[in-house]
Every structure is written in structure tokens, then in C-alpha cells.
Chains A and B, each alone.
Chain A
Amino acid sequence: MAANSSSIPKRRASLRRQDARVAWLLLIPSLAVILGVTLWPIIYTFILSFFNAPTGINQIRTFVGLGNYIDMLKDRTFWETVGRTLYFTVVSVGLELILGLAVAQLIHSHPWGWQFLRFSLIIPWAVPTIVNGAMWRWIYSADFGALNGILMQLGLIKHYVPWLTLPNTAMNLVILADIWHTMPFVALILQAALATLPEELNEAAMIDRANAWQRFWYVRLPLLRPAILVVLIVRTVEAFRVFDIVYIITSGGPAFKTITITYLTYLNTFSYGKQGTGAALSFLISIFTIMMALIFIRFLYRPEETR
């Protein structure tokens, strides 16, 4: 009996070891895939960024140290592109958050047909990015576009305007298309978060004679902080690496005015044949992305509120 009871911890330890073995067995297929398509490539990209590497098979690579990075940081195109990408990110994510919050609050107030509204939001979200881009490109079309048609019929313009050739307008129109596609995601997440808030808080605030705006600003908004954080991280990371929608609507034009940082990387690697520069750029995008996520978490994440 005594011998038996002393063996229990031993048996437990062996069970745990067995468990660990099972865990690794279950993980092996996934880890192998991640190692092959993510981990090894990102290390390769990092190494490649220190080389002058012309695109193509059997090209001679020469080690240039930090050369690619230094050239890039000295290049005005790079900084203009970073600025443009940040503009796209800040404006589109900012507007999506504000509009998404407004729509979420609207659904939450349960007007007639709110279920239909919530249902409808799924459609733009599910439409593929490229279809969305093609659709808006056609809407903005200079010769036959719906935007021109509608503005003309409303009497707001006299002649059809080639919208996508106007340098400052083009980027904003891309942003509008992006908002159509992604605002529903923000609205749906925030609406779900609103629905989980306890109704008593709202009632308590009403008894204290807080008006609708105060109830929103001081009661609900602070409680939405975790959901807003999630939305901001996901959307900022996505927006900063934007490529598809720009490629399809403007192809980077007019005169490179809508080229974003991912687009610049794509051009360097696959059009200009400068793989080393492309690698350096793409590595910087990764760093930027991870840094932005960390900054948001640091500023917005307050553990005591999520408990």
C-alpha cells in the first residue's frame, strides 16, 4: 500500500511526459508547414536584404551590408511612399472606425429594420477585394462611370470628370472603396460588443439624467475599449500592407501618386529586378507592422478593464 501511494507522483510525471509527446505529435504537421512557408522565408528575406540580388535564377549576388537599407532611407520616393501609405492607413482606418461605431450604435438602438441592416452589412464584407476594386474602378470610370452619371444627372458637374487621373482625388477614391469593403467588419464587431454590455449601466446613467450622447461617450465607449483595440490592430495592420485594391483601381497611378509601400516592394522585386531592395523593404514592412501592433496594445490595453 505504502509503495503504491509513493508511486503516484511518478505515474503522474510519466503521464505528463507522455502528454508532452502527444502534444508534439499533434503539432508536428502544422509546425512543419509554418517552418517551411513562414519562418524559413522570413529569415531568407532578412538575409537577402543585405545583398545586391538581381531578380532571376542563377544571378550573382553580392554582399552589400546595410547598403540596401541606406539607399532606401536616402531615397525620396521611399519616404513619399511611406507618407502615402500612412495617409491611406490613418484616413481609411479612422473613417472606418468612426462610421463603423456610428452604424453599430444605430443597429444597437433597434430602429425598424435593424435586423435587415445587420444582415446587409455582411454583403460588402464578403465581396472579394478584387471584385470590389473592379466594381469601383468601373464606377469611377471617366467615360461611362456611374459616379459621373449620377453627378451629371444631379446637375453637379457639366462634363464627365476623369476622377482617377486627378492626383489627390485618386487616393481618396481608393479609400472610399476600401471603406465600403471593410466598414461592415468594424460595425459588426462593435455591434456584437455593444450587445454584450449590461443594460443596467445604461439605465443607471438614465436615472442620473445623462443624455444620449453622454451615455454613449462616458458609459458605453469606455467599455468598448477592448473591442476597439482588436478592430484597430487588425485593420491597421491590414491597411498598412494594402496592395490589391490599389493595384486594381489605379494600378499605382496617376504618376505613382497611389503607390503604397507594398506596391513599391512589388515593383522593385518583380518589375525593376532588384530583389535585395525588395527584401529590405518587405522586411521593414514586417517590423513596422509588428511595432504598430505593440504600440496599440501598450496605449489601449488596460488589463484591469478586461478582467
Chain B
Amino acid sequence: MSYRKFLRKLFLFLLTIPVLLFIFMPILWLFSASLSTQVELFAIPPHWIPQHPTLQNYLDIIFPNLAASAVPRTFSVSLLNSFKIASSVTLICIVIGSLAAYALVRIPFKFNHTLQVGILGTRMIPEVSLVIPLFIMAAGLQLINKPIVLVITYMSFALPFAIWMMAAFFQTVPLELEDAARIDGCSRLGILLRVVMPISVPGLVSTAMFVFLLAWDEFFYALIFTSTLAAKTVPVAIAEFIGRYVVNITGMMAGGILAALPPVILALIFQRYIVSGMTAGAVKG
């Protein structure tokens, strides 16, 4: 019996190997390419592990004034833009979204249910269906190529998402706690700030992480609303280099790794919140 059990374990273990290879091979190749020199990268057959590994590609992006070409310079600026925009979106969504989420889950009033369904419905609307009016509006207000235009437009997908996800987390706060606070004379806002929010910290962290990732990942609006360095985000920078200047491909590989690092690190740090967050953020709360 235990011999059979061992065989079963071994068989299952052997099954995990192709899955792990599928996950890691592409990303390791990207990483390896980012440490290569241009010459090595164009070798046929490819050098899977660079023979002369170099950190130059990273150094060029991190210290752009020393870089020889313009590619790393634009890249570091777009990294900064992405950080600013994604953080602003996250902050705004958590602040105004938590107020709305609390009202929707815990205060009975007319139209409450309608609003819940409505907000879920807005999550289904694709970006492409909103982009023309948003573009006309942004052009009218002369906001094109300013970071603020992305902060505003990203609200269209980030805010309903954040409200829905926080509502799912607030729902798990025991009603008794709220009642106790009310008896002690706490106002609704007081309950939200002193009772519900502190208990929901894991949920809020999870929501913040998801919203940050969504905003960091966003490409469509960024492509349409920004083209200059003033507001260009990382995804747009990567797309432009792929399209036009194929010159500095190693820089792009390093850029890709750097662009992937913040979300991957965030996700790995908060990995235990991810699955609960995925389920909460999905269609049903």
C-alpha cells in the first residue's frame, strides 16, 4: 500500500514538471535576454544562458543620464508616470469606493439594490465603448497627454471593481459589532472608520493591490490618450519600442522585467489575499 502511495506521489510529482516548465521557461528566457549583450541575443542558435552576462541594460534604465541611447531615458520616465498614475487611481478608489461600498452593503434605502446591479453592470462595459466620448471630452478640456486624463479615465473600470470587491469584504464584518458601536452613539461614518475599516484591512489591502495591478496593466486608454513623455505609461513605452525602434532590444527586455517586477513582487508579498480577492472581485460577491 505504501509502495503504491509512493508511486502515486511520484507520478503526480512528474506531472508538475511540465506545468512548471511552461510557467518558467518564457519568463526565464526574458530574464536571460535582459542580461545579454545585443550581439549575444542575435546568436543562432540562441545562447540560453548568456556567456558574458551584463547588468548594463538595467543600469542604463536606472541611471538614464549615463545611457548612450534615448530608449532607456524614455523608459525611466514612463516607469515614473506609471507609478504616479497607478498610485493615484488606487488611492482615490479606496477612499471614495469604500464609502460607497459601505452604504451599499449596510444601509437599507430605496434604490439600494438597483444601484448594486447598476454598478455591477458598468463593470461589464468594455473600455472601447467609452473611449470615443472620453476622447472628445479630454480633447475639449485639453487633457490629452496629461497624466490626470489617465487617472480620470481609469476610474471607469477601477472604481466599479473596487466598490464591488470592498462590498464583498464589508459584508463579512459581523453586524453585532456595528450594533454595539451604534448603541455607544457612533455615527455611520464613525462605524465605517472605527469598526468596519479596521476589521477589513486585509480586504482593503487586497483591493488596493488589485486596483494598482489593473491600473499598471492598462494599455488601451494609455495608447489613445498619451503619446508624449509627459504622460506615457510603461505599457505604451514597451509597445512603441516593439513597433518602431527595434534597435535596443536588450534594453526592452530589461525594461520588460522592470515593468513586471512591481506587480509580481506585490502579488507574491500579498499572495494569500490573491485568491480571496479574485473570488470577491469576480462576478458574485
Contacts and interface: CB of A to CB of B under 8 A. Distances in A.
- Our verdict on whether A and B bind, yes or no, reads yes
A84 B86 CA distance: 33
A216 B266 CA distance: 34
A207 interface: no
Query: In the complex, which range does the number of interface residues on chain A fall in?
Result: 35 or more
B126 A23 contact: no
A237 B66 CA distance: 45
Q: Is the interface of A mostly helix, strand, loop or mixed?
A: helix
A134 B99 contact: no
A8 to B, nearest CB: 16
Interface in B200-252: 213, 216-217, 219-220, 223-224, 234-235, 238-239, 242-243, 249, 252
B235 A130 contact: yes
B177 interface: no
A146 B15 contact: no
Contacts of A120: 20, 23-24
Nearest to A278: B132
A269 B223 CA distance: 13
A42 B118 CA distance: 13
Given A29-B99, A120-B23, A130 B238 contact: yes
A127 B238 CA distance: 13
Contacts, number: 270
Given A23-B112, A48-B132, A134-B252, A129 B217 contact: yes
B13 A113 contact: yes
Contacts of B99: 26-27, 29-30
Contacts of A299: none
**Most-contacted residue by chain B among A112, A122, A143, A283 (CB, 10 A):** A122
A126 B188 CA distance: 37
Given A106-B15, A127-B263, A282 B126 contact: yes
27 contacts: A19-B109, A20-B110, A22-B107, A23-B103, A30-B99, A30-B100, A30-B159, A31-B100, A38-B122, A44-B132, A45-B133, A48-B132, A111-B9, A120-B20, A122-B268, A123-B264, A127-B263, A130-B219, A130-B259, A135-B27, A144-B41, A180-B26, A192-B275, A226-B284, A230-B284, A231-B282, A282-B128
Given A30-B96, A30-B97, A282-B126, 6 more contacts: A29-B96, A106-B16, A122-B274, A126-B213, A131-B256, A189-B282
A-B pairs, 6 with minimum CB distance: A111-B12, A44-B133, A30-B100, A130-B235, A126-B267, A20-B109
Interface of A: 16, 19-20, 22-24, 26-27, 29-31, 33-34, 36-42, 44-45, 48, 57, 103, 106, 109-114, 117, 119-131, 134-139, 143-144, 146, 149, 152-153, 160, 180, 184-185, 188-189, 191-192, 226-227, 230-231, 233-234, 237, 241, 243-244, 247-248, 251, 262, 265-266, 269-270, 275, 278-279, 282-283, 285-286, 289-290, 293
